[in-house]
Amino acid sequence: MRNLLPLFRPYWRVAVLAPVCMLLEVAMDLAQPALMARLIDQGLLRGDLHRIIGVGLWMVAAAFFGLAAGVGCNVLASIVSQNFGADLRQALFERVQTFSFRNLDTFSLGTLVTRMTNDVTQVQNLMQQLQQGLIRGPGLALGSIVMALILDRKLGIILLIAAPFVGVFLYVSLKVASPRFAKSQRALDHVNSTVQENLAGIRVIKAFARSAYAIARFEEANEAYTRAAMRAARIMVVNTPYMNLVLDLSIVSVIWFGGHLVWRGMLPLGNVVAGINYTTQVLTSLMMVSAMLVNASQAMASAHRIADVLRAEPDIHNLPDAVLPRRCQGRIAFRHVGFSYGDGHGRRVLDDVSFEVKPGQKLGIIGATGSGKSTIAHLLARLYDPTEGQVLLDGVDVRQLHLGWLRQHIGMVPQQALLFTGSIRDNIAFGRPGASQREIVEAARVAQAHEFITSFPHGYETVVGQRGVTLSGGQKQRIAIARALLVKPQILILDDSTSALDVATEARLLAALQQQFAGATVILIAQRISSVADCDVILVLADGRVAGFGTHAELLATCPVYQDIYASQTGQNPVESTLTGQTALREEAADLG
């Protein structure tokens, strides 16, 4: 909880007032049994109506004063806890926004959602309970014991004997509950992750008729959470009945012992009634403390999980002397780059990768699935840092560049075109909210999206569903490309982001890019030879290593991996294609001569 205290400091003045109000309510509650004893002994037993009315009015006044103090405490506690919870959620969200992909690999999407919602709610509820019960519970218990001792020492001793039974039980309960609640929260993480994964992939699940498998997976996660939650809930199952047992035995003891003293004339009847009330107050307040401590145990587990996120240091951040160049030329160089996911000691995704791209060139990257193509893009945009080697932009290591400047000059369209809930216009203008309608339309035209957008009844104001669910794959890709083009980047990365387009549409898009962004450096990651064949240079990757680097014709002649890809996609012999191309070039040269 200490890690969360800075978020509590802005509200400490209001938080102090809540216990003060609760202290006044406790004082009124403690006064009621004493006033009742006086009403019985000095009013009812003596038949003194004036005394009955006088003491009764004092009791009514104390009740209303206690009500006002209690309401004030609850209002103040709600103000503090709600604002604290909002700030905590905001701090978590802002922290996650600073995370690199490597940080996000550490925390799953499900656990982050759980920590921002359920865990924050647990801590927020504890904050409110502490303001309300931290004074009321212990204050009412100790005050009732003191008042009982003042009324009659023997009755007070009964309460002193009962209290340790409750205290020992509370201690044992907390020792058992804490690890169980932590395990329950981890199980809830797994449930949320399973739900999100299945909802995100529900179309795939239905397409492959795997609903039964998805249901079985969720059932397994749900049952594991239920078992963990039930183990934690067993503490509460035993808690309340045990407290009631101690309460009932204490009341019976007070009645038996007090009645014996009244019969012998050694104790006024009103004191016995007051003793019963104080006994009830002591035990109910201890029950309140018990529930609060059990909730505190659960909230502490949540607080530790929240603190884990807040303490996580983004492994990608600006250096104190980060470089802010005046302009970006677009010269890219990889120097002996190696990379592994996780802690850097896992499977090598890239191994000794070196190449260079000149400003304004179009680089194609091709290779089998898992060869490291997307990792090249991630390292250039500094979504990850290389495990070894250097990634240079205009001769400067990207780790030395200011992150804001770097990403401002790089437009990246990932493999999965993610759109946000809102209009098509808002999605295209996501990177430049202040862009004019003319600029948005121009970006859409280049991305070959304008035609299908204007075919919708509401055009650019058409609202797309969450993640762009109302659009086809090709439509989402073109809107995502338009979004990247609108920021006018000096380096444009298309990470297999034309895979859902037909060949003709892709050709028009690439031609428009060549015309409109002639000075920009373009990196085109693709699976199809036809997509990269016209690039100035092509990088061929195989198992994370450079298998070839050159033009389409050069690779057909010298790179076996590229030749295999070409043959598998076109059905032609790459050597014959190379010879044919060379013959055509010689004939063209002869004609010119």
Pick the most confident of 151-165, 197-211, 232-246, 493-507.
493-507
The band of 269, judged by pLDDT with boundaries at 50, 70 and 90, is confident
Report the DSSP pairing between strands 410-413 and 348-357.
unpaired
CA-to-CA separations, 229 to 196, 221, 225, 299, 502, in angstroms, rounded: 21, 12, 6, 14, 51
**Using CA atoms, how far apart are residues 347 and 472, in angstroms rounded to an integer?**
35
| Percentage, residues of the chain above pLDDT 70 | 92
The band of 336, judged by pLDDT with boundaries at 50, 70 and 90, is very high
Which residues, at least 6 apart from 356, have a Cβ–Cβ distance to it below 8 Å? 331, 332, 333, 334
| pLDDT given for residue 208 in this prediction | 62
Backbone φ and ψ for 356, nearest 5 degrees, come out as -145, 140
Using only C-alpha atoms, what is the Rg of the chain? 36
The band of 335, judged by pLDDT with boundaries at 50, 70 and 90, is very high
**Using CA atoms, how far apart are residues 564 and 570, in angstroms rounded to an integer?**
10
**Using CA atoms, how far apart are residues 79 and 64, in angstroms rounded to an integer?**
23
* C-beta separation of 464 from 427 below 8 A: yes
* C-beta separation of 228 from 184 below 8 A: yes
| pLDDT given for residue 439 in this prediction | 92
The band of 593, judged by pLDDT with boundaries at 50, 70 and 90, is very low
| pLDDT given for residue 108 in this prediction | 73
Of the candidates 351, 354, 376, the residue with the CA atom closest to the CA atom of residue 366: 376
Average pLDDT estimate for 337-352:
80
Average pLDDT estimate for 519-529:
88
**∠259-261-267 over CA atoms, to 5°?**
105
Report residue 455 CA to chain centroid gap: 38
Under CATH, which number does the domain 332-409+489-592 receive? Answer: 3.40.50.300
| pLDDT given for residue 346 in this prediction | 65
**Using CA atoms, how far apart are residues 267 and 377, in angstroms rounded to an integer?**
87
Whether the per-residue pLDDT at 337 is higher than 90: the answer is yes
| pLDDT given for residue 584 in this prediction | 43
Which residues, at least 6 apart from 46, have a Cβ–Cβ distance to it below 8 Å? none
* C-beta separation of 359 from 521 below 8 A: yes
Going across the sheet that includes 388-393, the strands are 348-357, 332-340, 388-393, 396-397
User: Tens digits of per-residue pLDDT, 232-254?
Assistant: 777 666 766 777 777 777 777 77
Which residues are bridge partners to 540 per DSSP? 366, 548
Average pLDDT estimate for 508-535:
86
**Using CA atoms, how far apart are residues 393 and 330, in angstroms rounded to an integer?**
7
Report the DSSP pairing between strands 422-423 and 463-464.
antiparallel
**DSSP structure class, residue 40:** I
- Note the pTM of the prediction, 2 decimals: 0.69
| pLDDT given for residue 211 in this prediction | 78
| pLDDT given for residue 345 in this prediction | 59
Strands (E), 304-398: 332-340, 348-357, 362-367, 388-393, 396-397
Q: Which comes out higher in pLDDT, residue 574 or 362?
A: 362
| pLDDT given for residue 389 in this prediction | 94
Provide the greatest CA pair distance for the chain: 136
Average pLDDT estimate for 15-37:
86
User: For all residues of the chain together, what is the average pLDDT?
Assistant: 83
The band of 150, judged by pLDDT with boundaries at 50, 70 and 90, is confident
Of the candidates 297, 292, 323, the residue with the CA atom closest to the CA atom of residue 139: 292
Pick the most confident of 4-8, 184-188, 539-543.
539-543
User: Tens digits of per-residue pLDDT, 560-589?
Assistant: 999 888 888 887 776 555 545 444 434 444
Whether the per-residue pLDDT at 592 is higher than 50: the answer is no
Domain 2-184+232-311 has CATH 3.30.1330.10: no
* C-beta separation of 127 from 84 below 8 A: yes
* C-beta separation of 424 from 453 below 8 A: yes
Q: Residue 549 is inside which H or E element, if any? A: strand 545-550
Report residue 162 CA to chain centroid gap: 45
Residues in the chain: 593
Ranges of each domain in the chain: 2-184+232-311, 332-409+489-592, 420-487
- From the number of C-beta atoms within 10 Å of its C-beta (0-12, 13-18, 19+), residue 353 rates as buried
Average pLDDT estimate for 248-277:
76
**Using CA atoms, how far apart are residues 143 and 140, in angstroms rounded to an integer?**
5
**Using CA atoms, how far apart are residues 313 and 99, in angstroms rounded to an integer?**
8
Structure tokens at 6: 């800075």
The band of 203, judged by pLDDT with boundaries at 50, 70 and 90, is low
User: Tens digits of per-residue pLDDT, 45-71?
Assistant: 777 788 888 888 998 998 999 899 989
**Using CA atoms, how far apart are residues 549 and 366, in angstroms rounded to an integer?**
10
Q: Which comes out higher in pLDDT, residue 217 or 438?
A: 438
